[in-house]
Structure 1
Amino acid sequence: MEQSRLVLARKVSHYSTSKLSRKVSSMNQQINGLVLPPRIHYRRVAASAAPGTTTTTKSSKFDYDLYVKTKREAVSISLHRAFPPPLKQPETLKMHEAMRYAVGGGRRTCPIACIAACELVGGTQDDAMPGACALEMIKASFCVQDDLPSIDDSELRHGKPTVHRAFGIPTALFAGTALLALGFEHLAARYSGDTAARMVAEVSRAIGSTGLLAGQAVDLGIENPDRAVELETLEFVHLHKTSALLEASLVAGAIAGGASEQEIEALRAYGRVTGLLYQIVDDVADATKTMEELGKIPGQDAMAGKSTYSTILGVDKSREMVGELLVEAKERLGVFEETKALPLIHLANHFANWA
């Protein structure tokens, strides 16, 4: 394994931070056949900030923590109301309990991003809430799947036992599948016409065989401590596994708010960059944070011999890349008025500061 790490290190040692930035910028231009507007169409909304510092803008009075707390509480209440009443058979009661357990807790990043995007383009929280709840259900369904012994074999999520640990594997499988179905039912039932069709299509692409599941398949294929993993492969995994769902959350919110195509594409690009930023931060945190800070057992990727940004680039170089992506994410929001984009600016800052 040590020899493999040395080979891997030699393969990426020639990458400078500037080269990494160019590779990420190029990758942002095209994914799944979508060509984005050139970067020159975006104005910079904030200066570069190193992870661990706060970017100073005229928005310093914005209370991001209060914003997140308020939105998280609203999502949790709406999620509780979105579940249908269970049938009377004891087995279905257990499945419904597992479904609610799966969406209990967590940062609610995808639904909050959905609401923030909707409000940014002129919509309301009520416009976005059905989509926000649907996305949290769909995200939770994949988390249940990821945690299974045959995939990540995780014992904890959000500081509590994973669904299969708490309810058993069969119930976890049923609950995860039911959450996926309920999420799409919620989108189709709570929106109508072109709005519903576009949102369903967007989320379907994000999680399907050219989106999240493509990243998951490649991720499983590279879980080999003796395999030298290229940086491009790791980027492919996380642009699909992590960025795709955040991107879909933002685009769904924008659609619910009646956004223009220019606004949708700006949010799409922001989501792609911010999702990659988040994944690099998550890799760094897995190598540097405690179980209390993470809400899960740290170092599991390293123990499994799995390649991450921190194992390929090292923690310091990974943090440098986070700083570059933070600037890129804010540039993508340049088509919007800065004061209205504050929730998403602070979301990217929040991720970067965690590194």
Structure 2
Amino acid sequence: MDDERDTVLIVDDNAENRSLLGGLLKPHFHVLITTRGEQAIKVCQQHRPDIVLLDIMMPEIDGYEVCRRLKSDERTQSIPVIFLTAKSQIEDEQKGFDAGAVDYILKPISPPILLARVHTHLRLKHAMSALATQNTILEERVRERTRNLECLQDATIEAMASLAETRDNETGNHIRRTQRYIKLLAEELVRRGLYLQQLSPDMIKALFKSAPLHDIGKVGIPDAILLKAGKLTEEEFELMKSHTEIGRNVIASVESAIDFESDFLRFAKEIAMSHQEKWDGSGYPQGLQGKNIPLSARLMALADVYDALISKRVYKPAFPHEKAVGIIKEGSGKHFEPAIVEAFMAIEQQFREVASTYRDEGFNEESFPSLNQASG
């Protein structure tokens, strides 16, 4: 059918050449004809022919310039250009290829050669177009598969984290709050020019996803200790502290089962193991000090303590935001890294907004008004 035929644009200022080329090509293709370079460029932009047969020696702008302009325009750069010329020097051919042409046919034109070359380059163009389309389809399938896997991963993480939380006096909203606190802190450190290599956008995303697993090890702590309302004995506290190593071991077992590195699992393991460490070395389980504590765990330490302070527990009421901020500030250089405390102080109102948005029942309503009330 005619409407399925490819379109060939002939660009030549010589009437005899145009007549010859048109006669050869019209039985096989749709044919467009122009006599000037500028006109040829406009035709290509408007009609997108499948291939261009381009004379070199023309008035106004020559074929080399026409080809260069077609190749520099995203709308026309994929259209193959074949030069038709009487110029037979090697340097002339090289100049044509440098301009972006795919072929170079010498005049006088041999009809069999012309048709064979045009058919060859059209088949190549269509093959490349089909490959590009297939690649686009495959890339979209990969993106869709990745999105599905990420959704599955997120749901699994939340389920695992919630399992640990339901055995404690904490809630699913604790997970959501600490995720957002750690993300806010990381982004503020980046704004301050700190830890830029460790806090790329992808790594911050991994931190956000891994944060809910910080207390996954609590599944291994007996209820009598985990839910005890009074003060833990020294022996009980030692057992409670083991939740960090239990969590690390659970995540490490997952890590060992895969054959690739994962920032998400690395951060999850670091946070589970070390979020109870303190900047001055007085934390547990290893008594790490300063920057020997992984950055991910240093961020979680502040996020987790802030949320514990503003939340109701069996052993304490929920503290107001201002009191929690004061305690965090006092812990600078002791419990927390000073630079992270400074970042927190700069964005403490954003922490307050997160606490309000994802608040639990029993929050102090005056200290944590709804966002609409806070902005009113």
TM-score of the aligned structures, taking structure 1 as reference length: 0.30
Higher relative contact order (CA 8 A, sep 6+): 1
Q: Of Structure 1 and Structure 2, which has the larger fraction of its residues in strand?
A: 2
Q: Which has the larger radius of gyration?
A: 2
Q: Of Structure 1 and Structure 2, which has the larger fraction of its residues in helix?
A: 1
